[in-house]
Structure 1
Amino acid sequence: MTDDVTARTGEMIWTHNTWMRYVATAADTGGRLAVLEQRLSPAGDPPRHVHANEDEAFYVLDGRLAATIGDDTTVAAGPGEFVFLPRGVPHSLHVQTAEVHCLVLLTPAGFEQFFAAIGQPAPGSELPEPATPDVAAVAAAAARYGVTVLPPG
């Protein structure tokens, strides 16, 4: 895990028990938008968190994904559907099938660098073997990108 890595279009990484490919980064869009292709499993469900700087959206290509937004709103999306997570509102994600294949949009761009900082190069498009993340290290890295990991609750 290092903060001196830069996300580059076309690169593939493993992070949070998730496979990602950078489709577009801040360098490609003048900082306005980042697009990531992701393959997620339930092992990659992130803890509840809140973004200070960017809106986040998930367009589901395959599988089923749910999000809890705020304290009591849950939305689900399947193939061809979209989940929008506004900045400043706590949220969590829940993979509801064995795998979800989706596109993630971040606006403005910048948070894609967090994944580069904590991830590792992926040798192919397979999901990584599930591993227990170092939550304290992930939370500390996320904070440097304006994301607060919230306590379970």
Structure 2
Amino acid sequence: MNYTLPHTIENHTGEKIIFKGIRHESDGDVLYGENFVQPGSGPPMHTHWLQDEGFMVLEGRIAYQIADQPVQYANPGESLVFKRGVPHRFWNAGSDVLHCAAWLKPANTIVFFLSSIYAAQNKSGKPQPELFDGAYLMTRYASEYDMTEIPGFVKKVVMPVVYRIGKLLNKYEHFKNAPQPIKVR
């Protein structure tokens, strides 16, 4: 699936991302854009195995946490970076919309992955993605992304079983042009 940039996604939980463009650099492409997060909203603890992620707060106040560390905060003009392989989460800690400039490097499959996660959340009407779509995305792209809060048994046993059942039931036609996951070499 190819997306024309700029590309905007929103989920019903209060997050909006505008993927604006890609900047080519000698050591990998940088995807840049903006995000808007409603008060109290933000993604759960997660990991990008192959990407660094950065934010600069433009408006509002961001709370963020790296696994097993205390919560920290950043205000307008302040930046933060989450290194690849480090579990993290963030949310809007203010009473107004949080607006950040954001980037990920290298870009890899993140536009497809987040677009699909948001669509699956919207389909379920809950913060958790629709069951079959969630199992597809978390199983197929496990080499790139992890949702830290999902128990290991669910990730290693339940999701792969649901993924295979979904394949048997032909639930993944809408993913037929999905990009290949990036594998660690």
Give the TM-score of the pair, scaled to structure 1. Answer: 0.75
* Contact preservation (8 Å) 2:57, 2:76: yes
Equivalent in the alignment of 2:148 = 150
Among 79, 84, 88, the residue aligned to 2:85: 88
Report the number of matched residues.
138
Equivalent in the alignment of 1:124 = none
- Structure 1 unpaired stretches of 5+: 121-127
Q: Quote the offset at 1:68 in angstroms.
A: 0.5
- Structure 2 unpaired stretches of 5+: 152-185
Q: Distance in 2 between matches of 1:139 and 1:103?
A: 30
Equivalent in the alignment of 2:8 = 12
Structure with more relative contact order (C-alpha pairs < 8 Å, separation 6 or more): 1
- Structure with the largest fraction of strand: 1
* Contact preservation (8 Å) 1:22, 1:37: yes
2:28 matched to 1:34? no
Amino acid across the alignment from 2:24: T
Q: Distance in 2 between matches of 1:45 and 1:22?
A: 17
SS of equivalent residue, structure 1 residue 118: helix
- Runs of 4+ displaced beyond 3 Å: 135-140
SS of equivalent residue, structure 1 residue 151: coil
Q: Distance in 2 between matches of 1:91 and 1:13?
A: 21
Q: Quote the offset at 1:81 in angstroms.
A: 0.7
1:38-58 per-residue CA deviation (whole Å, 9 max, x = no partner) reads 111145321111110101111
Superposed CA RMSD: 2.7
Among 131, 134, 137, the residue aligned to 2:128: 134
Q: Distance in 2 between matches of 1:140 and 1:43?
A: 28
| Structure 1, 44-53 or 131-140: larger mean CA deviation | 131-140
| Structure 1, 40-49 or 53-62: larger mean CA deviation | 40-49
For residues 17 and 38 of structure 1, do their structure 2 counterparts lie closer, same or farther at Cα, with a shift above 3 Å needed? Answer: same
Q: Distance in 2 between matches of 1:63 and 1:7?
A: 29
* Contact preservation (8 Å) 2:54, 2:79: yes
Q: How does 1:91-102 map to 2 (within 5 A)?
A: 91-98=88-95, 99-102=97-100
SS of equivalent residue, structure 1 residue 9: coil
Q: Bigger radius of gyration, 1 or 2?
A: 2
Equivalent in the alignment of 2:54 = 57
1:3-39 per-residue CA deviation (whole Å, 9 max, x = no partner) reads x4x33212222135311211113xx537510012111
- Structure with the largest fraction of helix: 2
Q: Distance in 2 between matches of 1:17 and 1:141?
A: 21
Q: Distance in 2 between matches of 1:66 and 1:139?
A: 29
